[in-house]
Structure 1
Amino acid sequence: MRGLVTWVRKQRWLLDLPLYAVFVAFGPNIADQQTWPVRMISMLFLLPLLFRRRYPRTVALLILIGVAVVYTNEIWAYDRGRSDLAMAVVLYTLVKAGDRWFIGFAVAIAGLDAYWGFTWGVNTLNPTLTIFGVVPLYLAAWALGAFFRTKEQLTEEERLRAELAASEEQARSRASVAEERTRIARELHDVLAHSMSVIVLNAEGAKLARHHDPDAVDRTLDTISKTGRSALAELRRLLEVMHAGEPARAPQPTLDQLRTLVAQSGRDITLEVNGDIADLPAGVALQAYRIVQEALTNMLKHAPPDATGRVRVTFAGPEIHVEVTNSGGRQPVAAGLPGSGRGLTGMAQRVAMYHGKLETGTLPDGGYRVSATLRTDAA
């Protein structure tokens, strides 16, 4: 049953079939008698109405031509009732379709029909038929066509607005996901670059110290093991965040872990913290930690093994200042260590997020200095 209903809805011309039958059988007519030839002509005259939904222009043109023939032929003029009904359907169809040129044509024919109605009506002593029958019929057809056209336009506009809103929401969602994935990828780069640098450089140091300082080798291997496990654990957490889509729940390092970070580097680095960093906003603390991490990674990549370093973190007022320096040397033992080339770019992006300032450059002794200031009130 449901399939039959669906099929009938698709065959829209079936909806016009009862209307067509009513027009042919019971349409008003001025003549006292109707012969079958006249009825057959009426059936052919009204037949195009069955296809008005699919071919509105062609059907309108055929009906308008037929109406014009009715006006100019005294025999068919007696069948004016059906032509008026057909004309009303044509007006409704054209106005609903919004075809301006054909609407103008139809209005001209309707005006001729009204004029012909008055002249014919005077001759038959019945001019009220046009005034109270035909003209209101045409006006009603026009009004119905305009009403349903406006309704369809409003429905279509509402549908387009809903689609646009859904599309914009999807775009915002995709942009948000992409932005978060970019941030996570940057975090992943920083973590792995630092951890791999620590592992590689400590492994090289252990290889050099294995003959004259076995205890140092054991300590170095222990550092490598701890660093590797820590890197794997953080990598696992970050991957879980990317799959779960809940980045806010991922545990992030804080400035309280700077001492561990410095110790894992395996270098002679001094850490100095001024101010109560526990009061820092979480976002600022994370970015400050990552800046220190990236600066130490660069030190491990480019500074010689005997280079010393200093990390100074100062929190005062609306700003936190991070400074990482290292002494110079002639040849970096890890010159062949691959880098991404994104360290300074990543630090610059982190500083820009909090309306801060980044300064980097070579020191007079050949060392390097990274100085970053972040605004805590921009968090």
Structure 2
Amino acid sequence: MESVRSVVRRHPWGADAGLALLLALMGAPATAARDPGVAGWPIFVLIFLPLVWRRRAPLVVYWTVFLTWVAANATVDLPGSVLALPAVLYAVARYRPRHALWPVLAAVEIDLAVTWLLGHQSGATVIQANAVAATAVLLGMNLRTHRAYLAALEERARRLERERDQQARLAAAAERTRIAREMHDIVAHNLAVIVALADAAALTTMTAPRGAADKMEKVAATGREALGEMRHLLGLMREGREAAPSVPVPEPSGPALVPQPGFDDIDQLLDQVRAAGLPVVLTREGEPGRWGPGAGLAVYRIVQEALTNTIKHGGPGAGAHVRLRYTSAGVDLEVTDDGPHRPGRARPPADGHGLAGMAERAASYGGNVEAGPLPDAGWRVRTSLRFGDAA
């Protein structure tokens, strides 16, 4: 049936022509039994021919068919031509507003009443004709209402999809701004260190050249680290070409910057989570490389967000397990819990931004976040971050 509907939608003229031909062939035997003569058959064809345009001009087609049928049956007996009337009644009900039906139905009822009063039709025949007309009209109205309902649902789905995409873009933009601010603190701190080391090296070049060389090596290392962090910042902000809000960089002599959390702060984070009532087990493999504070911040924030979701949605008695596997190029991170989550049932997000934030952080280091229910119960967040180019 779906393939038939598809063909009809692609070729409406052909479908209407086929319907007209089918109804004419069905009515031809009854008409031939009454022997309409040579003049009757052209009129018979003329009654069915306008059905080809029933979708494009249903009212014009109806009045053409109805008036031709009334005039023809006043002089020629064409019983089979009555099959055209339900088709045009259906077309008016299907493709025109409801108020357009009233004159159409009035014309049908007047014709039936006149033929009954003149004795041309029996009462049973009139009742049958009314039943057929009512069926055609109700079928057309029902299908019109159904199609309008489906069109409204499709429009609503498109509107919700646009709103969802807009919300996702807004969430991603807000998260990129937040990450950019954090990166700004790191880069500003590195620049302040570079300035201080360069000043010290300049002062000791003549008196302690070896110490000055050591300081310049630290300047180079710190500069490479800052360059890597800036590269990731630009990668985050490239989409949309929108710059983060401008924040003035403090002078080296100004107040000290608050350090961002990193690898060394994960234990303290887990202690805070345990104090909140969530038992957490930490498994480490290997040691973190010298990837810079941005790498540690990304891992710290992903673990933090995953455990925050467990606290909110894991339910009473849930426990969590954090696995960190350090490799030469990066970190494989997995956070699981054993809360009462069933497979196939999505955990409701707290604010819609948590997963977006984790995904943005992972994407900045060439990874992606996989979050979903475990086969039996519980929830898992897993990602792999690569820091080889950040050092």
TM-score by length of 2: 0.52
Cα gap change, 1:63 to 1:101, in 2 (>3 Å): farther
Secondary structure at 1:36 match in 2: coil
Question: How many Å separate the matches in 2 of 1:50 and 1:231?
Answer: 74
Q: Output aligned runs, 1:220-235, within 5 Å.
A: 220-235=215-230
Match of 2:64 in 1: 62
Match of 1:126 in 2: 122
Question: How many Å separate the matches in 1 of 2:228 and 2:62?
Answer: 76
Matched, 1:12 2:12: yes
Cα gap change, 1:215 to 1:32, in 2 (>3 Å): closer
Question: How many Å separate the matches in 1 of 2:58 and 2:200?
Answer: 88
Q: Output aligned runs, 1:188-337, within 5 Å.
A: 188-212=183-207, 214=209, 217-235=212-230, 278=268
Matched, 1:79 2:74: no
Match of 1:90 in 2: 88
Question: How many Å separate the matches in 2 of 1:158 and 1:270?
Answer: 53
Whether contact under 8 Å (2:115, 2:121) holds in the other structure is no
Q: Which has the higher contact order (CA 8 A, sep 6+)?
A: 2
Cα gap change, 1:229 to 1:55, in 2 (>3 Å): same
Shift of the alpha carbon at 1:63? 2.4
Identity %: 27
Question: How many Å separate the matches in 2 of 1:91 and 1:113?
Answer: 14
Ranges in structure 2 where 5+ consecutive residues have no aligned partner: 239-251, 259-264, 274-292, 295-391
Deviation track 1:219-252 (CA, whole Å, cap 9, x = no partner) reads 5324423422332444466567789xxxxxxxxx
Matched, 1:48 2:50: yes
Whether contact under 8 Å (1:46, 1:86) holds in the other structure is yes
Match of 1:170 in 2: 165
Match of 2:35 in 1: 33
Aligned with 1:180 (options 159, 169, 175): 175
Whether contact under 8 Å (1:30, 1:80) holds in the other structure is no
Amino acid of the structure 1 residue aligned with 2:176:
R
| Aligned Cα root-mean-square deviation (Å) | 4.2
Deviation track 1:314-357 (CA, whole Å, cap 9, x = no partner) reads xxxxxxxxxxxxxxxxxxxxxxxxxxxxxxxxxxxxxxxxxxxx
Cα gap change, 1:119 to 1:25, in 2 (>3 Å): farther
Shift of the alpha carbon at 1:40? 0.6
Secondary structure at 1:151 match in 2: helix
Amino acid of the structure 2 residue aligned with 1:60:
Y
Shift of the alpha carbon at 1:94? 1.4
Cα gap change, 1:210 to 1:113, in 2 (>3 Å): same
Question: How many Å separate the matches in 1 of 2:14 and 2:123?
Answer: 36
Question: How many Å separate the matches in 2 of 1:65 and 1:215?
Answer: 111
Aligned length: 251
Question: How many Å separate the matches in 2 of 1:212 and 1:269?
Answer: 29
4+ long deviations beyond 6 Å: 3-8, 239-243, 265-271
Secondary structure at 1:35 match in 2: coil
Cα gap change, 1:101 to 1:241, in 2 (>3 Å): closer
* Rg comparison, structure with higher value: 1
Question: How many Å separate the matches in 2 of 1:99 and 1:5?
Answer: 23
Whether contact under 8 Å (2:187, 2:229) holds in the other structure is no
Amino acid of the structure 2 residue aligned with 1:85:
L
Cα gap change, 1:141 to 1:125, in 2 (>3 Å): closer
Cα gap change, 1:207 to 1:138, in 2 (>3 Å): same
Match of 2:285 in 1: none
Q: Output aligned runs, 1:99-178, within 5 Å.
A: 99-120=97-118, 122=119, 124=120, 126-132=122-128, 134-178=129-173
Cα gap change, 1:40 to 1:127, in 2 (>3 Å): same
Whether contact under 8 Å (2:51, 2:61) holds in the other structure is yes
Deviation track 1:255-314 (CA, whole Å, cap 9, x = no partner) reads xxxxxxxxxx7999899xxxx9936869xxxxxx99xxxxxxxxxxxxxxxxxxxxxxxx
Cα gap change, 1:39 to 1:113, in 2 (>3 Å): same
Amino acid of the structure 1 residue aligned with 2:152:
E
Question: How many Å separate the matches in 2 of 1:127 and 1:37?
Answer: 30
Ranges in structure 1 where 5+ consecutive residues have no aligned partner: 244-264, 283-288, 291-379
Shift of the alpha carbon at 1:179? 1.9
Whether contact under 8 Å (1:202, 1:266) holds in the other structure is no
